[in-house]
Structure 1
C-alpha cells in the first residue's frame, strides 16, 4: 500500500485525483476553524476513502471518480444539498457505495479473502454484499448521529431502506463492471 501511495502520478487523470485529495485535506483543515463540529466530522470521514483509493492502486480513472464521489457526498451534507435537491440522496448513495464496493473488491482480493476478479460471478456477488454491508453501517452511523448528536440529521424508515437499496444497486453495478474490467493499474504494488 505504501508503494502505491508514494508512487508519483503518471497521467493527467492521476494528477487530477491527487489534486482532489489535496483539496479534500485542505478543506478539512480549513473547516476545523470555520464550520461546526458535525460538518467537520462529516468532511473528515471522506479522507480515509480518498487516501485508500490511492493506496490500493486503483486505475487512475477509478481513483479520480472515487475521490470526487466521496468528497461530493460529504460536501453535499455540509451545503445541505440532500434537503435542497429531491433524489440527490439516492444518486449519491448509488454512486458512493458503488465506488466504495470497488475499493473493497480490490482490498479483499489483495488480502486473499477472495480470488482476484478473474471469475465473472465473484466480483458481482462480493461487491453487492460489500455494498449492502457498507450501506447498513452508514445508516447506523446516521441513526447514531440523529439519536445522540443532532436531530437535524434526516432519518426515517423509508429513507433508510431507499438509501440501502440505492447503495446495493450501485455496488451491483460496480461488481458487474469489475467482472469485465480490471480495477487496478497494471504496475501497482499489491497490498
Structure 2
C-alpha cells in the first residue's frame, strides 16, 4: 500500500515538474528511476517506500528552495537518500550475485559505504555539470560538495551497519 502511494506521488510529482524547467524534470525523472529500481528488483516494501519518499522529499526541497530556507536539511537528505540508495544498490548486487552475500557487519559497512561514496561522487559531478552547462542556479561550491559527500558517506555507512546487523540476525 505505502509503496503504491509513494509510486503514485512520484508520478504526479514528475508530471508537475513540467511547470518548472528541464532541470526539475530531469531531477524528477531520476526520482522515478529511484522508485522503480527497488520495485523491479523486488526489494522489501519498507525499502521501496523509504527510498521513494526520501527521494521525492529531496527533489521537492531542491525545487522549492527548502535547502536554502531550512538549515541542515541538505545534509540530512544527502545522508538519508545516499544511505538508502547505497543500500538498494548493494541489495540488488547481492540479489543478482554481482557481489557475494555480505557475511559480516564490517563487510556490509565497507561495501555499502564504498558504493554510497561512489554514488555521492556521481551525484556531485552531475550537480557540477548541471551548474556549468545547464543552469547556474544549481547550488554548488566547495563546502556544499564536501559536506554532501561526507553526509552521504556517513549515511551509507549507517545503512551498511543496519544491513550487517540484519544479515547477522538472519544467520542466527
TM-score, structure 2 normalization: 0.92
> Which whole-Å CA distance do the structure 2 matches of 1:74 and 1:65 have between them?
14
Q: Deviation at 1:39?
A: 1.4
Residue number in structure 2 paired with 1:112? 97
Summarize deviations over 1:23-52 as a string: whole Å, max 9, x none.
2112212332x2222211111110111011
1:76 lines up with 2:61 in the alignment:
yes
**3-state SS of 1:112 partner:** coil
Residue number in structure 2 paired with 1:136? 121
Residue number in structure 2 paired with 1:61? 46
RMSD: 1.3
**3-state SS of 1:114 partner:** coil
Residue number in structure 1 paired with 2:16? 30
CA contact (8 A) 1:42 1:77 kept: no
Higher helix share: 2
- Unmatched 5+ stretches in structure 1: 1-14, 183-191
> Which whole-Å CA distance do the structure 1 matches of 2:137 and 2:158 have between them?
32
Q: Deviation at 1:57?
A: 2.0
Q: Deviation at 1:118?
A: 3.0
Q: Deviation at 1:175?
A: 0.2
Seen in structure 2, the aligned counterparts of structure 1 residues 30 and 156 have a Cα distance that, compared at 3 Å, is closer
**3-state SS of 2:103 partner:** coil
Mapping 1:1-191, distance limit 5 Å: 15-32=1-18, 34-181=19-166
Summarize deviations over 1:126-147 as a string: whole Å, max 9, x none.
1000000000000000000111
> Which whole-Å CA distance do the structure 1 matches of 2:140 and 2:63 have between them?
16
| Structure 1: 4+ residue segments shifted above 4 A | none
How many matched pairs? 167
> Which whole-Å CA distance do the structure 2 matches of 1:88 and 1:81 have between them?
8
Residue number in structure 2 paired with 1:4? none
CA contact (8 A) 1:46 1:71 kept: yes
TM-score, structure 1 normalization: 0.83
